[in-house]
Each structure stands twice: as structure tokens, then as C-alpha cells.
């Protein structure tokens, strides 16, 4: 983790906590925390989002609160600075849970959400820029993807947050630019409720990072919540499900897990996971690894 990322994470924790301290809802604390990370350009979300193999940034985000099980998400949204806010507006202003692609983008524009600022220099590009999709170009996209899969190069920089407010409500959020070397149109776990995140006041809140393909197949966030509901601690629940992810399908992920009584755990089976917490005293804790 770079010093700039560490400072940004600490600032995001302070902003989220201040909202809770002033009596604000966990949902808004989660949204504002993630919003700062999206805006920073330092993580794989918002300004810093990865590009798909055609050179386009398509982002996924979701948010959920545990009192009413309200949830909203966007997938493959383009040109919007704060996909997490678009997700909250899907939850609050529509009868739906998930909007995708150009229609998600149109919805966010209709809500007058800020656009992604134009990049001054080309951002991290995980593939080749291929503006149109002729058959030959499509073949090149597939070849580029297979080659990069062989190198095993992937980066885990999704941003996420979980919070518990003074009303006893938990919330979780996630926002991402996806993984390295994605085919255009690829959607990961982050906008899928139960996979990339879950929140229920009766068991807790979970936000995931890592290779979405594995997280989706084991419905990881909801599976961790089910373990919490069965009486396991956040640390035990996270460890157990992450181990299963590795042993069953060689998955790779990290989890933020919070129980309704305020116990929490940060666990990962990736070599590295930049994360932190703050309970309002001293300085926020921010680290790159959690045992
Ligand atoms: N989970 C995200 C995805 O698969 C990537 C990440 O966490 O970095 O899209």
C-alpha cells in the first residue's frame, strides 16, 4: 500500500465514523466512505477503475442495509464518478435492485450524478484499446485475455465498507472497476447481492474483494452471513468460508465482516489486502495484511 493510499483509507474511515457519531445512518456512512475512495483515483474504483479489454472503464457497485434488507446495485456503468451513489439511488428511488450497462449510466445521468473527469494521461490499461468490435478484433480480445490469464496477473483493489449505526442497523457497500484483463461486458461479484456483499441486522454485514468469478460461485457474502446467523464469530465465519473458497475452487478473496453487536474481522486469502478500521479513539488502523 502506498502512503497516499494509507492516508486516503484513514481519511475515509474518519469521514464514515463522523457520520455515525452525528447519528447518521450506516448506509450513508458506507456510501461516503466509499465515495472518497472512488474519488481518489488511488484504488480500482471510480476515477481509478480498471479498463476492460476494449479500453473502456465499466464499473460495478452495490449497497445494502440490514433493517429492511434494502439493496441497490449498478453493473457495467460508464463515465460516472460515484457508482456507489448510483447504487443507493437504485435502492431508494426505484422499485428495482440492479440496473445494468447503458441504462444504468442513463439512470445515473438522470439523477445528475457527477461524471468521471476525463483522464489527462491514459490510465492503467489492462488490455489493448480496441475501439470497435469487428470479428478479428474480438478474436484479439479473447487472445489477450487468455494470455494474461496464463501470466496469472490480477490486482485486487476494489473498495468496500461495512458499518453499524446507533440504531443497530448494519450496512455494506462495494465499488469496483473489476479485475485485470476482462472481456468487455464482464461483471464480477460486487454488484451481486449475496455474492460481493450482504447486510442483515439479524446476522451482520459483509463486503468482499477478490476474484469475483469464485466469489459468485460460492455466494460468499451470504454464506458468511449464514455462518454469523448460526452463532459463529466474524473471524471464524470469514476464515471458514474463505478456506472453503480456496479448497473447493482455488478462489482468492478478502472479506470485511461486522456483526450486529460490533465485533468485526478483516480476513483474506490473498497475499495482501489494504484495509482498516476506526472506533473513534486514537488514529484509524490501516494495514496491508491481516492475520
Ligand atoms: N471482486 C472484484 C471483481 O471481481 C474485483 C476486486 O475485488 O478487486 O470484479
CATH of residue 105's domain is 3.60.20.30
Give pLDDT, residue 136.
61
**Strand locations in the chain (E):** 59-65, 71-77, 98-100, 159-164, 170-176, 197-200, 204-210, 253-258, 264-268, 275-277, 285-287
Is residue 157 in contact with ligand 1, taking CB distance under 6 Å? yes
Q: Is 270 helix (H, G, I), strand (E, B) or coil?
A: coil
**Looking at the domain assignment, is residue 129 inside a domain?**
no
* Cα 236 to chain centroid, rounded: 22
Higher pLDDT pick, 51 / 154:
51
**Looking at the domain assignment, is residue 117 inside a domain?**
no
pLDDT digits over 5-43, tens only?
999 999 999 999 999 999 999 999 999 999 999 999 999
**Looking at the domain assignment, is residue 125 inside a domain?**
no
**Looking at the domain assignment, is residue 179 inside a domain?**
yes
Give pLDDT, residue 279.
86
Q: How confident is the model at residue 134 (pLDDT cuts 50, 70, 90)?
A: low
**Looking at the domain assignment, is residue 83 inside a domain?**
yes
Give pLDDT, residue 103.
98
Q: Measured in angstroms, how far is the CA atom of residue 210 from the centroid of ligand 1?
A: 5
Residue positions counted in the chain: 291
**Looking at the domain assignment, is residue 37 inside a domain?**
yes
**Strand locations in 123-252 (E):** 159-164, 170-176, 197-200, 204-210
Does the pLDDT value for residue 128 go beyond 90?
no
**Looking at the domain assignment, is residue 199 inside a domain?**
yes
- How many other CB atoms sit within 10 Å of the CB of residue 272? 12
Mutational pocket test of ligand 1: of 159, 178, 214, the residue with most ligand atoms within 8 Å of the beta carbon: 178
186 CA closest ligand 1 atom index: 9
Does the pLDDT value for residue 142 go beyond 90?
no
Does the pLDDT value for residue 156 go beyond 60?
no
Range of the domain at 15: 3-112+134-287
For the chain, the domain total comes to: 1
Amino acid at each position: 500500500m502506498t502512503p497516499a493510499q494509507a492516508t486516503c483509507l484513514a481519511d475515509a474511515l474518519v469521514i464514515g465514523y463522523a457520520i455515525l457519531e452525528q447519528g447518521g445512518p450506516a448506509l450513508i456512512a458506507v456510501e461516503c466512505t466509499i465515495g472518497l475512495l472512488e474519488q481518489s483515483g488511488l484504488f480500482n474504483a471510480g476515477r481509478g477503475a480498471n479498463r476492460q479489454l476494449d479500453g473502456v472503464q465499466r464499473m460495478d457497485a452495490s449497497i445494502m442495509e440490514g433493517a429492511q434488507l434494502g439493496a441497490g446495485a449498478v453493473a457495467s456503468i460508464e463515465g460516472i464518478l460515484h457508482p456507489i451513489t448510483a447504487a443507493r439511488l437504485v435502492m431508494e428511488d426505484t422499485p428495482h435492485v440492479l440496473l445494468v450497462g447503458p441504462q444504468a449510466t442513463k439512470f445515473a445521468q438522470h439523477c445528475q450524478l457527477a461524471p468521471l473527469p476525463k483522464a489527462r494521461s491514459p490510465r492503467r490499461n489492462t488490455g489493448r484499446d480496441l475501439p470497435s468490435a469487428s470479428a478479428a478484433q474480438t478474436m484479439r480480445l479473447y487472445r489477450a485475455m487468455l494470455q494474461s490469464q496464463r501470466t496469472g496477473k490480477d490486482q485486487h483493489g476494489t473498495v468496500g465498507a461495512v458499518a453499524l449505526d446507533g440504531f443497530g442497523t448494519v450496512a455494506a457497500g462495494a465499488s469496483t472497476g473489476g479485475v485485470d484483463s476482462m472481456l468487455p461486458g464482464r461483471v464480477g461479484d460486487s454488484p451481486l447481492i449475496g455474492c460481493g456483499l450482504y447486510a442483515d441486522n439479524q446476522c451482520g454485514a459483509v463486503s468482499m474483494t477478490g476474484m469475483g468469478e469464485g466469489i459468485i460461485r460460492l455466494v460468499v457474502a451470504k454464506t458468511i452471513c449464514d455462518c454469523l446467523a448460526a452463532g459463529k464469530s466474524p473471524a471464524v465465519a470469514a476464515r471458514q468460508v474463505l478456506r472453503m473458497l480456496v479448497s473447493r475452487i482455488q478462489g482468492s478473496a478478502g472479506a470485511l465482516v461486522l456483526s450486529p453487536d460490533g465485533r468485526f474481522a478483516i480476513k483474506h486469502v490473498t497475499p495482501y489486502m489494504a484495509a482498516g478500521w476506526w472506533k473513534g479513539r486514537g488514529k484509524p488502523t490501516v494495514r496491508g495484511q491481516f492475520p
